[in-house]
Chain A
Amino acid sequence: METIIETKHLNKAYNDRVTALADVNLAIEKGEFVALLGRSGSGKSTLLNILGGLDAPTSGEVRIGGKNIDFSDRKSLITLRRESIGFVFQSFNLIPALTAQENVEYPLLFNYHEKAARRERAADLLATVGLADRAHHYPPEMSGGEQQRVAIARALVGDPLIVLADEPTGNLDSKTRDEIFDLMRQVNRERETTFLIVTHERELGRRADRTIELLDGSVVL
C-alpha cells in the first residue's frame, strides 16, 4: 500500500504556551477511511488544517502523496489545496450567492478549467451525491443534509487524493448524519479517495476503517 499522509514529530504551539499538537506521528494509506476522534480542544482541527496546508506546524514534517510539504512556500500550499486536497467544513460552508451547480464548479475557477469541463464535472458529481434535480437551487433553499452533499461534491470536483472533513455532520440530525456518512463511505469505496474525518461522535468512528484519537495534542494509542 501507498502511504498518502505521513507526519513525523509534528508539533504545534500557540504563543509558545498552548500546545495544540505534541509529537504527532501518523501514516495513512491510500484509500483509507479514517476518523479523527477527540474532545474539543484536543487538536483535531489543528491537525486537519496543517494537513490541508491552511496552517503551519511549529516543527515536524508532513508528507502528502509522498511529497514533503514546505510550509514557507505559499504558492506550493495553494497548489496543494487546489490539486490534492478537498475540504468539507461544518455546515454553512457553501457560497450563498451561488447555486448548487455553481458551488460545485467554484474550486475549478481557481484550479482553472474551461466552462464546459466545469459544468460537466459538477453535474456528474451532483448526480453522484443524488442532487441532480437541485442543481439550480441556492443553499438557503436546501436542507442541511443537501447542503453537505453539495459540499462533498465540491470537495471532489478537483479529483483530490484526500478529502479532509471537519465535523461534516456536526449540525445534522442523526438520520441525515448517517446518510452523509454513508455517502462519504460510498465515494471512498468507488473512487478510492482517502478520507480523514474529524468528529467527536464515537459511533461514527466505529464505522470507519480506522480511528485515530487525539488527547491534548497527542495520539492516543
Chain B
Amino acid sequence: MILGRLLDYLKVSAHQVSRKRMRVFLTALGIAIGVAAVIGTVSLGEGVRYQAVEAIKEQSDLTLIEATADIRGGAIQFITPAKIDELATIQHVEASSAVVREAYTTKRQTYLEVVGIDPGGIEGVIQPKFLRGENLEPGSRQAVLGHDVAETLQRYEGVRFGDTIPILIRRYDEDGMPVDEEVQFTLVGVLQERDDAFDQVMLIDRGVAQELRGDEAAFDGVLIRVDSPDAVFGVVDDVKALGLTAEGAFQQIESVNQLMDVVVLVLAFFAGVSLIVGALMIVNTMVTSVFERTREIGITMAIGASPADVVHLILAECFYIGLIGGVLGNLLGIAFTGAINAFGKPFIITRLGDTFSTFAEGDITLITPEILAIGMAIAIVLSLVSGLYPALKAAHLNPVTAIRTGV
C-alpha cells in the first residue's frame, strides 16, 4: 500500500513536472553538468588506475607471493610446519614451498642472496626456464643461479657453468672470534632472464641451507604460486588471516590503488563543486515553483493533505529532476570521457613517455556500471536534499493565507 501511495504521488508530480518541461530540463541540466564532470574525472582516474595495474601485471610476476613471519600484538607469528601445511591448502594456491633465506659471500667477497628451497618447489613455485643446465638434485650442494648473478660471477670471478662456487660461511668460535668455513657449491643451472627478484638469487637445496645454518627446522618464508592473477588478493587476505605477512608484486598494485584512491577523490571533489551550483539551481526552481503554486498548495491542504503529504509531493517533483539530471549527466559524462580519449590521450601519452606506452592501446578513461550508478544516485539524492527546503516551506504554509493571497 505504501508503494502504491508512492507511485500515486509520483504520478501527480509527473503531471506537475511535465507542465514545465523547459524549466525542469534546464534545472536538470545544471545537475547533469555536475554529474558529467564527476563521471569524467572519476573515469579518467579509474582508466589511469586500470592501465597502471595492467602494466604492473604485464611487467611483473604477480601470482608469486611470499608469506613471512609477522608480529601481531607483540608476539611473533613464526613460520611453522603447521602453517606451511595450512598455506598449501588455501584456495587458488597452485603450489607452495617453504624457503630459507641466507646471505652468503664468495671467497672474493661477492655478495650472494641465497634462497634455500626444495627442488620440487623450484619447479612448482618459481617455474624456471633454464638458460643452461637443469634443476638441483635434492640434498646435494648444488646451485642454480639467476640470470644477473650468473653474469656477475662469470665476469668478476670467472665462474662458469659446471664450475664450483667457493663460499665462505662465517661462524664464531667459543671466544667469539669469527671463523670462516669454506663450502663448495656446484653450478648446475642458470635461469633465463625473468625481470624479477630471482635474477639476483642463488637457489640451493633447502635442507643444505638449514644444515649450514645449524638449524634443521628453520623457515624464513613460504613462496606461494597463485593459480590466476585475479585470485591474488584473495590469497593475500587468507595469508594475513593466518597471522603472516604477504609480500610480492601485488604490493605495487596496492600502492597504485592507494595513490589513485586519493587522486580520484581529490579530482571528484573539485568536479563536485559544480554539483553545488546544480543543487542551488534546484532550490531556486523549487522555491519559485512553490511560490507560484501557493494557492494550489493551500487548496491541497484544505482538501485533506497533511504537511507530510505536501513534502512528499514536492520531493516527488525533485525526484524527477534528479532522475532526468542523472540520465543527462550520465550521457554527457560518457560523451565527456569520449572527448578525453579522443583529444586528451595523445597529449597525456607524449607527456608520460615510453614507460606508459601500454596506454596507447587502450582507453585512458574507464566507465564502469558502478560509476554510472553512482552518478545517478548523486543526481537523485542531491535533488531530494535540495528539495527539502522548498518542500518544508510549502508544508509550513498557512492554508487560509495561501488560498486568500496565493496567485
- Identify the stretch in A103-111, A121-129, A203-211 within 8 Å (CB) of chain B at 4 or more residues: A103-111
Query: Cβ of A78 and Cβ of B304 under 8 Å apart?
Result: yes
The residue that B399 contacts in the complex, of A54, A93, A109, with Cβ under 8 A, is A54
Contact code string B276-316 (vs A, CB < 8 Å = 1, else 0): 00000000000000000001100111111110010000000
- Which residue on B lies nearest to A154, using beta carbons? B303
A138 to chain B, nearest CB (A): 9
Query: Cβ of B302 and Cβ of A110 under 8 Å apart?
Result: no
- Which residue on A lies nearest to B17, using beta carbons? A97
Query: Cβ of A115 and Cβ of B4 under 8 Å apart?
Result: yes
B351 within 8 A of A: no
Instruction: List residues of chain B with CB within 8 A of the CB of A110.
Output: 303-306, 309
Contact code string A123-159 (vs B, CB < 8 Å = 1, else 0): 0000000000000000000000000000000110010
Known: A49-B400, A112-B5, A115-B4. A102 touches B15 (CB 8 A): yes
Query: Cβ of A54 and Cβ of B12 under 8 Å apart?
Result: no
Q: Give chain A interface residues in 17-60, CB to chain B under 8 Å.
A: 45, 49, 52, 54-55
Instruction: List residues of chain A with CB within 8 A of the CB of B302.
Output: 52, 54, 81, 87, 89
The residue that B15 contacts in the complex, of A75, A81, A97, A109, with Cβ under 8 A, is A97
A183 within 8 A of B: no
Instruction: List residues of chain B with CB within 8 A of the CB of A154.
Output: 303
Chain B interface, DSSP helix/strand/loop, else mixed: helix
Q: Give chain B interface residues in 10-33, CB to chain A under 8 Å.
A: 12, 15-16, 18-19
B257 to chain A, nearest CB (A): 50
Query: Cβ of B400 and Cβ of A107 under 8 Å apart?
Result: no
Question: By the criterion of a CB under 8 Å from any partner CB, how many residues of chain A are at the interface?
Answer: 30
A96 within 8 A of B: yes
Query: Cβ of B296 and Cβ of A81 under 8 Å apart?
Result: no
Q: A112 vs B304: C-alpha distance in the bound complex, in angstroms?
A: 10
Known: A89-B403, A96-B19, A102-B15. A109 touches B8 (CB 8 A): yes
Query: Cβ of A98 and Cβ of B403 under 8 Å apart?
Result: no
Q: Give chain A interface residues in 167-212, CB to chain B under 8 Å.
A: none
Query: Cβ of A93 and Cβ of B8 under 8 Å apart?
Result: no
- Which residue on A lies nearest to B403, using beta carbons? A89
Instruction: List residues of chain A with CB within 8 A of the CB of B299.
Output: 87, 89, 93, 95
Instruction: List residues of chain B with CB within 8 A of the CB of A109.
Output: 5, 8-9, 12, 305, 309
Query: Cβ of B19 and Cβ of A82 under 8 Å apart?
Result: no
B179 to chain A, nearest CB (A): 95
Q: A97 vs B404: C-alpha distance in the bound complex, in angstroms?
A: 20
Q: A89 vs B9: C-alpha distance in the bound complex, in angstroms?
A: 23
Instruction: List residues of chain A with CB within 8 A of the CB of B295.
Output: 92-93
Instruction: List residues of chain A with CB within 8 A of the CB of B12.
Output: 97-98, 102, 106, 109
Q: A54 vs B398: C-alpha distance in the bound complex, in angstroms?
A: 8
A109 to chain B, nearest CB (A): 5
- Which residue on B lies nearest to A46, using beta carbons? B400
B403 to chain A, nearest CB (A): 6
A-B contact pairs, 15 of them (CB 8 A): A49-B400, A54-B400, A75-B306, A78-B306, A81-B303, A86-B303, A87-B303, A93-B299, A95-B296, A95-B300, A102-B15, A106-B303, A107-B304, A111-B304, A158-B304
With contacts A81-B303, A110-B305, A155-B303 known, what are 12 further pairs, Cβ within 8 A?
A78-B306, A81-B302, A87-B302, A89-B403, A93-B299, A95-B296, A97-B12, A97-B16, A106-B303, A109-B12, A112-B5, A114-B4
